[in-house]
Structure 1
């Protein structure tokens, strides 16, 4: 009986190895916890670099600055505001010590209700700017959902909710992050939040990825469902079928990063 040709054996060995690798990969995909997935996603996006850094960027004509140094942080936004035929320079500062608003370099007395609103607005922009960094904060609860395909790519699905203690005013908000199983990068996310007239929902598609000093930044196409009855988990289906309305683009400009040692 003739022996198989060498090239046939090589092809067979490669196919066998590929099957074993795919089987191992699928097994790993099934056993990884939500915490494992988020840990890896943070790592490929810059890891601990975010926790010791100074980051500046502009967003919708406002200047944002973030200082994070281990257990201390200071998140700012600066902008000009026209009022009564004059221009005021506003500086909002959220830190470990709480929130302060400066008007023309002078600390302004702000009602508690408005201070909470300003602080939440500042925190929201900075929160989204460095995702998935921040998803290992003490108040964050993570749960792995079933994998799903979006635009023919396989994604881990991780649901994020928040503890009431330490979760801030918006602790009832719910997020789902879709993390690419190949790259471990967050390509899509969705979240629900409370509004005065009920719940609102958003779906974001990441684009314009760039690394600055080893830290990953992206912009987002920001969508909302056309039907208020939509479920958060179903937003990827609505996105693929064209049933989401594009509201805005979340674009960070003039980003600079200084890593602290």
Structure 2
């Protein structure tokens, strides 16, 4: 009888362990977004400063507005990206821009908001997610989720490949890397620092590393190269003066 009981406990134990390993990439990302603020992202008004430039975002029921305001000796330049497209204003006057310039400015604006508000953008329709493995970094266990982008809707950088190391215990993105092909191309690896919650949304800063040579590097090994001291610290990416306003339910 004791043997049967022991076997029963072993079956339950093994089953529980298998259940924990059966999360899909989508489930992992969903948990990560929920942990970072969840549905608050869908309605939040966010303001922050990055490299002495003012940024803001506002989302509501699928509509969005991303802005960037640059103030210098010539006055104020304001970039606005919405569902309808991109516009640039100089001291309140709308400028006429070439299509290539619109693409350049809108992509750079969207990129800043994307990184600052990670992991929110990881459920965009153009994002392809795959759980490719697991890893241990600094004694902590992580899921390795690879992200690529569909050509349709993935932007000019749709060929870029991202790897996110998501903590198994609390579903936070503590590290991520990306391989890009614009310009001379390269690999960047970022370590999250200074995590904080601002009115229900999670924000972090980053240590930003580079890797040379990079062309033949397997993205799943970048964390190992980091722990081995093979990466070069390029910069710190600091987001300052973050404010978040989340409307109350049913509020206009």
Q: Alignment partner of 1:208: what SS?
A: strand
Structure 1 runs of 4+ aligned residues shifted over 3 Å read: 19-26
Aligned position for 1:31? 22
Confirm or deny that 1:92 pairs with 2:79: yes
Distance 1:225 1:56, change over 3 A: same
- From 101, 122, 135, the equivalent of 1:114 is 101
Confirm or deny that 1:71 pairs with 2:62: yes
Distance 1:22 1:214, change over 3 A: farther
Separation in 2, partners of 1:58, 1:241? 33
Aligned position for 2:39? 48
TM-score by length of 2: 0.90
Separation in 1, partners of 2:157, 2:99? 16
Aligned position for 1:249? 236
Separation in 2, partners of 1:142, 1:22? 29
The Cα shift of 1:80 comes to 2.0
Separation in 1, partners of 2:15, 2:68? 47
Separation in 2, partners of 1:22, 1:75? 48
Q: Alignment partner of 2:44: what SS?
A: strand
The Cα shift of 1:26 comes to 3.4
Confirm or deny that 1:209 pairs with 2:195: yes
Separation in 2, partners of 1:200, 1:113? 23
Q: Alignment partner of 1:42: what SS?
A: helix
Aligned position for 1:193? 180
Which of these two proteins has the greater Rg computed from alpha carbons? Answer: 1
Separation in 2, partners of 1:189, 1:168? 20
Structure 1 stretches lacking a partner, 5+ long: 1-16
Q: Alignment partner of 2:169: what SS?
A: coil
Contact 1:29 1:181 in 2 (8 A): no
Aligned position for 1:179? 166
TM-score by length of 1: 0.87
Aligned position for 2:3? none
Q: Which moved more, 1:225-234 or 1:120-129?
A: 225-234
Contact 2:33 2:119 in 1 (8 A): yes
